Amino acid sequence: MRVNRTRNFVKQYKKLPEKVRQQFRDRLALWLENSEHPVLRVHALKGELRGYWSMNISGDYRVVYYFASAEEVVLALIGTHSQLY
């Protein structure tokens, strides 16, 4: 699976504390191994973000992403629950 990032995602990622960035890297590796692992709490979004998915990073942090194709995922947003929704 190819993983791409939007410009907005990259900007948000750079502003995160190092601890959260490390947690993201760990969770992304887990997601690539098993996208249905319960700790990730992956779920489809509704409303304005229909077509996007959310993955838990830690406590309040989430990643919002979408599938560009069967072999490519695009990481669109990263931040706290209140920042994203």
Digit-coded pLDDT (tens) for 10-49:
999 999 999 999 999 999 999 999 999 999 999 999 999 9
Are the C-beta atoms of 60 and 81 separated by less than 8 Å? Answer: yes
Q: Give dist(CA 49, CA 7) in Å, integer.
A: 18
Please state the domain extents for the chain: 2-83
DSSP structure string for 5-19: E-HHHHHHHHHS-HH
Question: How many Cα atoms sit within 13 Å of 73 on the Cβ side?
Answer: 15
This prediction has a pTM of 0.93
The pLDDT confidence band at residue 59, using thresholds 50, 70 and 90, is confident
Q: Spelled out in words, what is the top-level CATH class assigned to the domain 2-83?
A: alpha beta
